[in-house]
Chain A
């Protein structure tokens, strides 16, 4: 067992435990903070897998952006609307069906895909190749995604103005 195994299990544990709490805990603020640790753990696993750029973007967008926005939403609405912000369970049967199907798909993919096992491959920086790919091979998709985001932004702004 090398140090990298230990670090991997550490991050995996952080991810799993906090993800478990995200869904089970009743207090939604706690949930959001646990989500932060989940994202952190996932970023760590990305780093170990050699996907450093993805890891950093994960941190910037999810930790620095999404979670913060969620917290903002919770904190701002909590005191204004006197709705108790708790998570609860409803619609068990449809949810169970959905989760079961999704779990089935995931397991099927897990079993059927051919995993590339590379032992101690040198971790090369991925940023440059990723960047080149984004603007050459996947250029159009990249731009389209940008446009979708822009539309979402404009939509949100116009909704908020009403």
Chain B
């Protein structure tokens, strides 16, 4: 943790207090991804979403704020900042105010464990994968809180649907992650990424590193696992076609119907942060995380400081690629009905993930 040490030494030399140094360094290095990654990404992603959806429908999308409307989201944020912070009389004021914070904190927690590059990972905890699953519990709680405190039937319905959906789809997610843990024997995302180093055929989706019979046996099942994980994580972040919690045509906009201004923006940001987090997890598990598919320029030219930067770029581009795929799906597919949603989870994804788990377990034993 270069950044942490630097900040610690800086504050320590000024105040001569280890605690002050620790606290400042912790707070700042914890906020760093928020400002250098989540906020710019949310701005970019909202703009991308508009442009992608527009072009898929043969429209142009925002064109007038900045060249091709790239400043549109900035303008929107400024507008949201100026908006009145409305708390209706029948809302439960305390919970209503805490809920967006909880939702955003929950989705931001995930970023603590994402391996951005070999040099920067918020917290290189041993249980990275499990931690990511655990963190999503806060999102569910926050969503339920928002729905309940809004005192509005649409909000409550949306929140219930969302919580039910996230809890159900957590099962296939965990099952797929379990297969990965079983093969690699690690839950540490950094180690997991390091295992997939080298070229792209070392990625988990191609059976992981090493050449043996089991690698080739893994490939089809890894593909199944990959698709299952992608679908179930897509459902966990409530994106179309799984956006029944905020189905505009029936629930206004679900659990954030009553919110305005910055609190609404927090939900929105949490959604986009979640999109990236989920894509990053999928790519970290199956597509080598921050590893480059073809080796590093830094190695070729002998510039070793370049490697972490390249890794960060690879990680970000893999994440953004999956975000784009999510958008692509969103503008392709109609929304599922509630029963279809549950059928997909319980009748298709969970059995498939389970059988996959068993087969991969058998192959691992071989």
A/B touching: CB–CB < 8 A: yes
Binding site for B on A (CB under 8 A): 1-3, 6, 29-30, 33, 36, 40, 52-53, 56-57, 59-60, 63-65, 67-68, 71-72, 75-76, 125, 127
Question: How many contacts A-B (CB < 8 Å)?
Answer: 75
Contacts of A30 in B (CB 8 A): 95
Contacts of B141 in A (CB 8 A): 33, 36, 63, 67-68, 71
- Is the beta-carbon distance between A63 and B18 smaller than 8 angstroms? no
Residue of A nearest to B133 (CB): A60
- Is the beta-carbon distance between B19 and A33 smaller than 8 angstroms? no
Say yes or no for B136: interface residue by CB 8 A criterion: yes
Contacts of A59 in B (CB 8 A): 134-135, 137
Contacts of A67 in B (CB 8 A): 141
- Is the beta-carbon distance between B131 and A3 smaller than 8 angstroms? no
Residue of A nearest to B137 (CB): A64
Considering the chains assembled together, what is the distance between the CA atoms of A50 and B125 in angstroms? 12
User: Shortest CB–CB separation between residue A61 and chain B, in angstroms?
Assistant: 9
Say yes or no for B148: interface residue by CB 8 A criterion: yes
Q: Is the interface of A mostly helix, strand, loop or mixed?
A: helix
Contacts of B167 in A (CB 8 A): 64-65, 68
Q: Which of A2, A56, A65 makes the CB contact (< 8 A) with B130? A: A56
Residue of A nearest to B129 (CB): A56
Contacts of A75 in B (CB 8 A): 144, 147-148, 156, 160
Query: Which size class do B's interface residues fall under?
Result: 20 to 34
Say yes or no for B22: interface residue by CB 8 A criterion: yes
Q: Which of B125, B133, B156, B164 makes the CB contact (< 8 A) with A52? A: B125
Residue of A nearest to B98 (CB): A33
- Is the beta-carbon distance between A3 and B26 smaller than 8 angstroms? yes
Considering the chains assembled together, what is the distance between the CA atoms of A52 and B353 in angstroms? 27
- Is the beta-carbon distance between B187 and A64 smaller than 8 angstroms? no
Considering the chains assembled together, what is the distance between the CA atoms of A10 and B136 in angstroms? 22
Considering the chains assembled together, what is the distance between the CA atoms of A76 and B147 in angstroms? 12
- Is the beta-carbon distance between A3 and B22 smaller than 8 angstroms? yes
The 8 closest A-B pairs by CB, nearest first: A64-B137, A59-B134, A3-B22, A125-B126, A63-B137, A56-B130, A60-B134, A56-B134
Say yes or no for B270: interface residue by CB 8 A criterion: no
User: Shortest CB–CB separation between residue A133 and chain B, in angstroms?
Assistant: 16
Say yes or no for B287: interface residue by CB 8 A criterion: no
Considering the chains assembled together, what is the distance between the CA atoms of A148 and B200 in angstroms? 45
Contacts of A127 in B (CB 8 A): 126-127, 187
A-contact bits for B83-95, CB 8 A (1 contact / 0 none): 0000000000001
- Is the beta-carbon distance between B137 and A60 smaller than 8 angstroms? yes
User: Shortest CB–CB separation between residue A45 and chain B, in angstroms?
Assistant: 15
User: Shortest CB–CB separation between residue B36 and chain A, in angstroms?
Assistant: 24
Most chain A CB within 10 A, of B26, B125, B133, B141, is at B141
Most chain B CB within 10 A, of A1, A6, A53, A75, is at A75
User: Shortest CB–CB separation between residue A139 and chain B, in angstroms?
Assistant: 17
User: Shortest CB–CB separation between residue B136 and chain A, in angstroms?
Assistant: 7
- Is the beta-carbon distance between B19 and A1 smaller than 8 angstroms? yes
Q: Which of A33, A52, A65 makes the CB contact (< 8 A) with B127? A: A52
Contacts of A33 in B (CB 8 A): 95, 141, 145
Contacts of B95 in A (CB 8 A): 29-30, 33
Given contacts A59-B134, A71-B163, A127-B187, 20 further A-B contacts (CB under 8 A): A29-B95, A36-B141, A52-B126, A52-B127, A56-B131, A57-B130, A59-B135, A60-B133, A60-B134, A60-B137, A65-B167, A67-B141, A68-B137, A68-B144, A71-B141, A71-B144, A72-B144, A72-B164, A76-B160, A125-B127
Considering the chains assembled together, what is the distance between the CA atoms of A63 and B144 in angstroms? 12
Say yes or no for B217: interface residue by CB 8 A criterion: no
- Is the beta-carbon distance between A64 and B170 smaller than 8 angstroms? yes
Say yes or no for B23: interface residue by CB 8 A criterion: yes
